[in-house]
Chains A and B, each alone.
Chain A
């Protein structure tokens, strides 16, 4: 059953009104339908972006329309961690540990300028310059803070991403790969900076070219 159907043949058959699929693809459909429509976020807020996250979950914007209203107070029941706000260097180890304690498959949304890059506090001595230095982020939401609509947009983008993760084949979800780690090293709050300052296995930005 590991043979994949040729995509062009599939398209040709579909034109003639013949739908071809595989058991794995059907299973992926059901699996992803269930997963994307019941994303349980971790009840976890860091700064002012958390207020927007709460607003998105409350009645006016109503995250429940997308199946994400069940905020869990325990990482063991959560699928999604929303890093909503400024991650200070003192808080970063806790964020990574909470991420580690979530069961696979798990997703990360970096909400706001601070969680992406440190935002307005980037020059500060105590602010982490982006949570993607330690945990793999699935969706970034720019803004300071992003409006709840932007949060809902990111949520829908995450649902699209989940939908594209197949059970087998080249588009297989990374959580199904036994080689991919589920836990990432927790940095230590040192005397001058976090040790290590970044997890190089997941964070490798292009070097800045200055002319």
Chain B
């Protein structure tokens, strides 16, 4: 009698190996720690954060969102400064109309800065 093994038997063996094989080093590590290596806990060793410095304060701190106005103002003026580069490159050959357009653009930038300043956007509130 030549019987064909159940096709699912291999799956069962595979599952068994897949469970036992990774469990072995964990069990060995546990046994080693339990029977050979003495446990030596301590204040620094059990500290939540590993660092040469003692951690201070609470980890759950709030960051001030006030900084975002600074960021937006910086971003706007940074991008607008890029628009001035074509003027600067061709400055010596600029016609009068282009020069006036440049001055108008600069005026708008200054107006924006004055407006932001008046609104208190540059004041750091603690």
How many chain A residues sit at the interface, stated as a range, is 20 to 34
Q: Is A55 an interface residue (CB 8 A)?
A: no
Knowing A74-B50, A101-B50, the reply to whether A177 touches B42 (Cβ < 8 A) is: no
Question: Are A181 and B40 interface neighbours, CB within 8 A?
Answer: yes
Q: A176 vs B45: C-alpha distance in the bound complex, in angstroms?
A: 17
Closest to A93 in B: B52
Q: In the bound complex, do residue B52 and residue A98 qualify as a contact, i.e. CB atoms below 8 Å apart?
A: yes
* Cβ proximity bits A103-135 to B, threshold 8 Å, 1 near / 0 not: 110000000000000000000000000000000
CB pair A176 B37 closer than 8 Å: yes
Distance of B10 from chain A, by nearest CB (Å): 33
In the complex the two chains form, what is the Cα distance from A95 to B52 in whole Å?
A: 6
Does A186 sit within 8 A of B, measured CB to CB?
A: yes
Chain B residue numbers with a CB within 8 Å of A175 are: 37
Residues of B within 8 A of A186 (CB): 44
Q: Once the chains bind, are A176 and B44 in contact (CB under 8 Å)?
A: no
Q: Is the CB of A167 within 8 A of B36?
A: yes
A94 touching B45, Cβ below 8 Å: no
Question: Which of the residues B38, B43, B45 comes within 8 Å of A177, measured between beta carbons?
Answer: B38
CA distance A2 to B14 in the complex (A): 41
Q: Is the CB of A94 within 8 A of B50?
A: no
Interface membership of chain A positions 173-191, coded 1 if the CB is closer than 8 angstroms to chain B and 0 otherwise: 0011110011100100000
Residues of A within 8 A of B42 (CB): 100, 182-183
Determine the residue in chain B with the shortest Cβ distance to A73: B50
> Within 8 Å CB of B96, what residues of A?
none
Q: Report the minimal beta-carbon distance from B54 to chain A, rounded to whole angstroms.
A: 8
A43-78 toward B: CB 8 Å interface, digit per residue (1/0)?
000000000000000000000000000000011100
Task: Indicate whether B47 reaches chain A with its CB closer than 8 angstroms.
Answer: yes
The answer on a CB contact under 8 Å between A101 and B43 is no
CA distance A41 to B50 in the complex (A): 15
* Closest B residue, CB atoms, query A175: B37
Q: Is A97 an interface residue (CB 8 A)?
A: yes
Given contacts A75-B50, A76-B50, contact A97 B44 (CB under 8 A): yes
User: Is A101 in contact with B38, judged by CB distance below 8 angstroms?
Assistant: no
Task: Using CB atoms, name the residue of chain A closest to B44.
Answer: A100
> Which chain A residue shows the least CB distance to B52?
A94
Q: A74-B50, A76-B50 are in contact. Are A101 and B44 (CB under 8 A)?
A: yes
Q: How far is the CA of A84 from the CA of B104 in the complex (A)?
A: 61
The reply to whether the CB of B125 lies closer than 8 angstroms to some CB of chain A is no
What are 18 sample pairs from A and B whose C-beta atoms fall under 8 A apart? A95-B52, A97-B44, A97-B52, A98-B51, A98-B52, A100-B44, A100-B45, A101-B44, A101-B45, A101-B47, A104-B40, A167-B36, A176-B37, A177-B38, A183-B40, A183-B42, A183-B44, A186-B44
**Given A97-B44, A182-B42, 18 more pairs with CB closer than 8 A:** A74-B50, A75-B50, A93-B52, A94-B52, A97-B53, A97-B54, A100-B44, A103-B45, A104-B37, A167-B36, A176-B38, A177-B38, A178-B38, A178-B40, A181-B40, A182-B45, A183-B42, A186-B44
